[in-house]
Amino acid sequence: MAESNKMRDMPVNKLMIRMGIPMILSMALQAVYNIVDSAFVGNMKVGSEAALNALTLVFPVQMLMVAVAIGTGVGTNALLARTLGQENPQKAAKVAGNSLFLGAIIYVVCLLFGVFGVKAYISSQTVDPQVISMGTGYLRICCVCSFGIIFFSMFEKLLQATGRSLYSTIGQVVGAVVNIILDPIMIYGIGPVPEMGVEGAAYATVIGQIASAVLLFIFHKKFNKEFEQGVSYMKPEGRIIREIYSIGLPAIIAQALMSIMVYVMNLILKFNAAAQTAYGLFYKVQQFVLFLAFGLRDAITPIIAFAYGRGNKKRINDGIRYGLMYTIVLMAVGILITELFPESFAGLFNAGQSREYFIDAMRIISISFLFAGVNVAYQGIYQALNGGIESLVISLLRQLVIILPLAGVFSIFVRNGQMGVSLIWWAFPITEFLSCLVGYVLLKRIKKYRVGEITDEKKG
């Protein structure tokens, strides 16, 4: 197949750019969903401050849903690419089918939480009745209609694994455009559509996600011809599911830890609602920058996994080298933008009382982007080389073991009035730098024991 030949023969630096650019755009547009919602909600005539706080509080659950879907997709991506590299189309069909079965299970869990668990979750972070009402309404819609983002994630990874990342980007663009068009119509009430406020933002988001999922389903059926498709391949097989999650579970945990980290940070900052909102707004900007690294990671993983499946040591090493190089360039651009234009972002969100906290967070935490991007690239490399444990270690360091105790200790000084909230923001660059040092050591180890053992490279 032409796509498989490209994965096998095209120079890695060119292949990574060709695959990476659509994936980077796709991930950036995925981050746009939340930024657009916050920008429109922040400019509501009534209740904008409470609405921004509500979106901050619901964000961890949105991240968690995406984490499970994308993590399952990451495992599917790497396993499918490796299986195609081994020229085993029968197993590839089962991998793809089982991933869709898992998507259905994930949706059922999200649906149940949306019906029964949303209000208790929001109430754990605030006592403001207006924020609780807005957050509950928004999150319930997102959970009940989460099949859009879940199956979009599945089909996106199936297309990326076969080298067709351009189609996933097209689907993401369509969803983003639908979301942007519907946001002002549904939030403010334009034409025959009634004013729905925060719930309008939720409806606009899920409709955009469903549009993306439907389009990618069509692309998957039409273009993924390297393996057979059909309902019969969705029959769950324990061996296939274990292989998917042996790769994907660390990715799920990595993304889920991001959700847990944001939730705990919301609790740490609960003493200051303006700082809490500022952190939520900044996190969406940070997510936009780091999603560029996630997009490139999604090119790094199948390229290296395909080469690993074929036993081609040179292409593995090229994938590692160019993946890290391109990630550093991307993050440098991200740092430049966020350091130069924090006031512009504050104006976009109409941050109000949170403005100064937001600008301070942007100037300090943005320093961490370079190290965070490299850590993301490390995890993509580990996943491609069956390094699930190494990936998990970095995730635990970045989002749990270092960051939360450090921020918690710094918050004690804030409450005693000895230092400003900015001290908490410094926990992020410190954490990413220390994690990056550990990541380098793990990379040397995995290259020695996983890549170094390859002696007979396949040709042709």
What does the DSSP 8-state code read for residue 401? I
Q: Is 31 within 8 Å of 256 (Cβ atoms)? A: no
pLDDT digits (tens, 9 = 90+) for 36-64: 778 888 888 888 888 888 988 998 898 89
Q: Is 147 within 8 Å of 107 (Cβ atoms)? A: yes
367 — pLDDT class (breaks 50, 70, 90): very high
Does residue 298 have a pLDDT over 60? yes
Q: How many residues does the chain have?
A: 460
* Three-state secondary structure of 28-92: HHHHHHHHHHHHHHCCCCCCHHHHHHHHHHHHHHHHHHHHHHHHHHHHHHHHHHHHHHCCCHHHH
Give me the pLDDT at residue 318, please.
93
CA distance 344 to 350: 10
Give the mean model confidence (pLDDT) for residues 132-140.
95
Tokens of 177: 């455009």
∠ Cα 90 94 95 (to 5°)? 115
- Computed over every residue of the chain, the mean pLDDT equals 88
105 — pLDDT class (breaks 50, 70, 90): very high
Q: Is 229 within 8 Å of 38 (Cβ atoms)? A: no
| Residue written as token pair 């933002």 | 201
Does residue 33 have a pLDDT over 70? no
Give me the pLDDT at residue 420, please.
67
Please, which residues have CB within 8 angstroms of residue 182's CB and are 6 or more apart in sequence? 203, 204, 207, 208
> Other CB atoms closer than 10 Å to residue 141's CB: what's the count?
22
CA distance 291 to 342: 19
Q: Is 78 within 8 Å of 99 (Cβ atoms)? A: no
Give me the pLDDT at residue 371, please.
97
450 — pLDDT class (breaks 50, 70, 90): confident
Q: Which residue has the higher pLDDT, 218 or 5?
A: 218
| Residue written as token pair 């990630």 | 327
140 — pLDDT class (breaks 50, 70, 90): very high
250 — pLDDT class (breaks 50, 70, 90): confident
Handedness of CA 384, 388, 393, 395 (dihedral sign): positive
CA distance 375 to 369: 10
Give me the pLDDT at residue 47, please.
85
Least confident among 104-113, 206-215, 233-242, 251-260: 251-260
Number of separate helices (H) and strands (E) present in the chain = 19, 0
Angle between helices 48-85 and 147-161 (to 10 degrees): 30
Instruction: Give the pTM.
Output: 0.74
pLDDT digits (tens, 9 = 90+) for 203-216: 999 999 999 999 99
Q: Is 325 within 8 Å of 367 (Cβ atoms)? A: no
First vs last C-alpha separation in the chain: 13
Give the start-to-end residue ranges of the domains of the chain: 9-236, 257-454
Q: Which residue has the higher pLDDT, 239 or 38?
A: 239
Give me the pLDDT at residue 331, please.
96
459 — pLDDT class (breaks 50, 70, 90): very low
